[in-house]
Amino acid sequence: MSQFRRIAGLVASPGLPLLAAGCRHSLAVAADGTVWAWGWNGEGQLGDGTPTDRWTPVQAWGMADVVAIAGGFSHTLALRHDGTVWAWGRNEGGQLGDGATTGRSTPVQVRGMADVAAIAGGAEHMIALRRDGTVWTWGGNVLGQLGDGTRDGRSAPVQVQGMADMVAIAGGDWHTLALRRDGTVWAWGWNNGQLGHGTTTDRWTPVRARGMADVVAIAGGGLHTLALRRDGTVWAWGWNNYGQLGDGTTTYRLTPVQARGMADVVAIAGVGCHSIALRCDGTVWAWGENTGVGGRFGETPTIRSTPVQVPGIADVAALAGGGAHTMALRRDGTVWAWGYNYDGQLGDGTRTTRSTPAQVQGLPGMGIPAHGSRGGSSATR
């Protein structure tokens, strides 16, 4: 399966995520390969050697030559150009992958991970895709999200059973996703429909999502899953209590349904109980929960069961989302954020929740993906 597609004259390449977020912290990779972080830091997840929350970006210690970033609930993962993986923050469940369960406020290397092509994060587990097409996981596993056939937590990476020739990975809160080169989607872990195989049975090893073919990108939300097909349409399944599937209902779906009105999409992100899409014209669209966060989508707080355009942001190249906030990288290299800001996760120097995008302050120059990355929770080799 080709990893490039052309929409309206724009070549879309999956790329690697330059933006990412945890539940209440935010992350960015600058053009020089350094990592910057802001927001909640109670577990050391900003990587600056302190537990101090930051309302504007600070640099993670010792991180250079980084090409991708991922966030868990209160921990962070970075991929360096040499194929090694580094992590910091909370480690009670072994999610840092260093063979221990001691939290770290500065980066440590994940054991045994080399020649890695992509990384992704769940709430308490992490995922890596190696260049040989195999998938590796570590951290919490109480719901089978590591995919090794057990529910045993792992403090160092283990290989996911039966996964070969994979080209992309993504994490939901407690489920994991992988995209095979043939365009099929595979999932495992907790299952209230988010695995997409027609049941609500948890799976400790991968199962195929029904009816999904010709997929080029995947993303995981809290309890739902998103897929982007080559034709630019978006499909979703799982919980839909806030309309996060985008099909005009609040009916839970055990198999994929199409998000209404989404065409020419080049990137997706699924976070918490809402979903985000980037169209080839640089506009951002969102649907799902929009209550209690001052208008997470940049409008009057409400629930949206079909996509609406986020106002006040254009010419966007990449997206990412946290527990209740969203970020966008514009083609001019600036980063913008909106939603909850109680821990400074919007990076604008305040703790004021924003219903429309505000610019993150103090970031160095950002690199720009060829098209906009495939969402903070999906990466492709």
**DSSP annotation of 110:** P
CA angle 161, 83, 149 (to 5 degrees): 15
Q: How much is the pLDDT for 309?
A: 94
User: Smallest Cα–Cα separation from 271: which of 124, 192, 379, 172?
Assistant: 172
Burial class of 114 by CB neighbour count within 10 A (0 to 12, 13 to 18, 19+): exposed
Look up residue 285 and give its two tokens: 């669209």
Instruction: Read off the amino acid at residue 179.
Output: L
Q: Which of 285, 221, 297 is nearest to 253 (CA)?
A: 221
284, with CB counted inside 10 A (0-12, 13-18, 19+), is: buried
The pLDDT value recorded for residue 215 is 98
How far apart are the two ends of the chain, measured CA to CA in Å?
Answer: 12
In the chain, where the domains are located: 5-380
Residue 295 confidence (pLDDT): 56
Residue 308, judged by CB atoms within 10 A of its CB (0-12, 13-18, 19+), counts as middle
pLDDT of residue 297: 61
- Tokens 């990975």 correspond to 169
CA dihedral (311, 315, 317, 322) in degrees, to 10, reads: -20
**Which pLDDT value is given to residue 299?**
57
CATH of domain 5-380: 2.130.10.30
Look at residues 213, 231, 236, 333 and name the one whose alpha carbon lies nearest to residue 280: 231
Neighbours of 108 (CB within 10 A): 17
pLDDT for 1: 26
Smallest CA-to-CA distance from 334 within 352, 347, 349, 321 is with 347
The amino acid occupying position 309 is Q
Q: What is the pLDDT along the chain (381 residues), one digit of tens a residue?
A: 223 232 222 223 345 789 999 999 999 999 999 999 999 999 999 999 999 999 999 999 999 999 999 999 999 999 999 999 999 999 999 999 999 999 999 999 999 999 999 999 999 999 999 999 999 999 999 999 999 999 999 999 999 999 999 999 999 999 999 999 999 999 999 999 999 999 999 999 999 999 999 999 999 999 999 999 999 999 999 999 999 999 999 999 999 999 999 999 999 999 889 999 999 999 999 999 885 444 556 656 678 999 999 999 999 999 999 988 999 999 999 999 999 999 999 999 999 999 889 999 999 888 776 543 333 344 433
| DSSP conformation letters of 238-251 | E--TTSTT-SSS--
Instruction: State both tokens at 323.
Output: 């527990």
